[in-house]
Structure 1
Amino acid sequence: MKYWITVASKDHIARGVAGGFMQANHGKQAALKRMHTGDWVLFYSPKQTMNGTEPCQAFTAIGQVADEEIYQHKMSDDFIPWRRNIGFYQNTETPVAPLVDKLDFITNKKSWGYPFRFGFLEIPEHDFERIKAKMITGKLITLNK
């Protein structure tokens, strides 16, 4: 089992939670291929909306990869992103700032946002568990709608 973080605006993550899916790195397939059934995913939102400037800087969703399927979904004639099915859990939005000093995957605490710039990253289990303990408040809420 592996533990991942994907980065997207809060509004985009909310669409994924509602639909039981995730996209990564603007709909590219490569990151999704690295994941397997049962892997955990944290969703980090630097901003409230994709084109907005209002910060969020929080983990806004948490879930597990539901199956091995990677598929495309036509959103418009020129945008057909790749997706994976995710089982999302009820959670509390969790600000990253209070956790920075306790997370090993953030090596430079002064430039804590740097690891998130890549849009998708694997993290150690102990860091994942620290974040998960702050987030999960209930049961599975969506699974492959």
Structure 2
Amino acid sequence: MTNWINTVSRDHVERGVRGRFTQANHGKPHMLRKMSRGDWIVFYSPKTAYPDGEPLQAFTAIGQVADDEPYQVEVAPDFQPWRRNVDFLDCAETPIRPLLDDLEFIEDKARWGYKFRFGVFRIDDHDLEVIRSAMVTPTAHIAGT
């Protein structure tokens, strides 16, 4: 299994949690095709809303890929994003700043936000556990079940 971070505004994360899906890089399929069933995805939200939301800088959702291939949907005639189904865990929105020293994927702590400019990227098991343990209670279950 691979662990991922997907950088998405909180309003878009909330839509995904309600619909049990994720999109990446404004609906493009490339990174979604790299994901496999069972992979973990942590959602980091730099802002509350896209494009003009307030700064947030928090992890806002976590879940596992629940299908085998990306699929395309029509949201509007001019927007047909690619998606993956996700089983989300119940979790608490978690500010990133208290976790910075423990996150190994952030190599330059002074410029910690740089990595998130890539949108979707891999993280190791250690970093997943740091984030998951901060977000999820021991009795958490899949959201909506």
Match in the other structure for 1:140: 142
Shift of 1:69: 2.6
3-state SS, counterpart of residue 52 of structure 2 = coil
Whether the 8 Å contact between 2:89 and 2:136 is mirrored in structure 1 is: yes
**Deviates further, 12-21 or 133-142:** 133-142
Task: Please state which structure has a larger fraction of its residues in helix.
Answer: 2
Whether the 8 Å contact between 1:47 and 1:57 is mirrored in structure 2 is: yes
Alignment of 1:128 with 2:128, yes or no, is yes
Alignment of 1:109 with 2:129, yes or no, is no
Task: Please state which structure has a larger fraction of its residues in strand.
Answer: 1
Match in the other structure for 2:91: 91
3-state SS, counterpart of residue 113 of structure 1 = helix
3-state SS, counterpart of residue 69 of structure 1 = coil
Identity %: 52
State the distance in 1 between where 2:79 and 2:43 align: 22
Whether the 8 Å contact between 1:45 and 1:59 is mirrored in structure 2 is: yes
Match in the other structure for 1:34: 34
Unaligned runs of 5+ in 2: none
3-state SS, counterpart of residue 18 of structure 2 = helix
Match in the other structure for 2:64: 64
3-state SS, counterpart of residue 26 of structure 1 = helix
Unaligned runs of 5+ in 1: none
Q: What TM-score, normalized by structure 2, do the two folds share?
A: 0.96
3-state SS, counterpart of residue 83 of structure 2 = strand
> Superposition RMSD on alpha carbons, in Å?
1.0
Amino acid at match of 2:48: Q
Whether the 8 Å contact between 2:94 and 2:134 is mirrored in structure 1 is: yes
Alignment of 1:19 with 2:10, yes or no, is no
Q: What TM-score, normalized by structure 1, do the two folds share?
A: 0.96
State the distance in 1 between where 2:4 and 2:45 align: 14
3-state SS, counterpart of residue 25 of structure 2 = coil
